[in-house]
Amino acid sequence: MAIRRATAADAEAIAAIHVAAYDETYRGLAPPEVFEGLNLERRTAQWRRFFAEPPPDATAFLIEQDGEPAGFGSNGIDRSGPSPIGWIKAVYLLKRAQGRGLGLAMMATLAEDLAAKGVSEVRLDVAVGNDHAEAFYQQLGGALLSSQVDPGPIWKSPTRTYGWTDAAALAGAASRAARHG
């Protein structure tokens, strides 16, 4: 298993994982039209834009297992308030890669990256009904902060926001759990 900072050359691989993992996770939760709209073409264009014009303070990482892309994660920072808040924007693993500590390793990587950028507070959103992910974030000490409706682009999904007050502590907890899991 290897996690590395993703580059523009990884856009297609990340898009393919994004589509496949989204389908594996949300089929049955999201309306059928979501899967038509969030297809490989759209995701590839999204990730090409991300690398061509990266959002400020945003980073993406790719997980490789046995030399093959198996997952990705991304983060960013909201600097609009009195103190910056790190956001874990995505953690997607293919089903075949789950249960092996890769999600924990990705969470550690994303949190370490945010801590290195000077962020303490970390948040992420998860769709209601993704019980596996919610349990995972709770296991890592995530506190439920709010419930809301994500505006889309296609699915106005009910979501919950989880948060941690210390990015470095989150990174340490995820790293320890990955080593001992």
Instruction: Tell me the three state secondary structure of residue 167.
Output: helix
Q: How far apart are CA 62 and CA 71, in angstroms?
A: 6
Encode 62-103 in three state secondary structure.
EEEECCEEEEEEEEEEECCCCCCEEEEEEEEECHHHCCCCHH
- Asked whether the beta carbons of 45 and 25 are under 8 A apart, the reply is no
Q: Could you say which DSSP state residue 30 is in?
A: B
Q: Among 126, 73, 127, which residue's Cα sits nearest to residue 104?
A: 73
pLDDT category of residue 108 using cuts at 50, 70 and 90: very high
Convert the pLDDT of each residue in 162-174 to its tens digit: 999 999 999 999 9
pLDDT category of residue 83 using cuts at 50, 70 and 90: very high
- Cβ atoms within 10 Å of 34's Cβ, excluding its own: 18
pLDDT of residue 153: 77
- Rounded (10°) CA dihedral 15, 18, 20, 21: 160
Q: Per the structure, how many domains does the chain have?
A: 1
Whether this prediction's pTM lies above 0.75 is answered by yes
Convert the pLDDT of each residue in 45-78 to its tens digit: 999 999 999 999 999 999 999 999 999 999 999 9
pLDDT of residue 37: 80
Convert the pLDDT of each residue in 135-151 to its tens digit: 999 999 999 999 999 98
- Rounded (10°) CA dihedral 33, 35, 36, 38: 120
CATH classification at residue 96:
3.40.630.30
Residue 63 burial by Cβ neighbours in a 10 Å radius (0-12, 13-18, 19+): buried
pLDDT category of residue 181 using cuts at 50, 70 and 90: low
pLDDT category of residue 118 using cuts at 50, 70 and 90: very high
**Structural domain of residue 126, as residue ranges?**
2-180
At residue 155, does pLDDT exceed 90?
A: no
Q: How far apart are CA 126 and CA 133, in angstroms?
A: 7
pLDDT category of residue 93 using cuts at 50, 70 and 90: very high
Q: Find residue 149's DSSP bridge partners.
A: 158
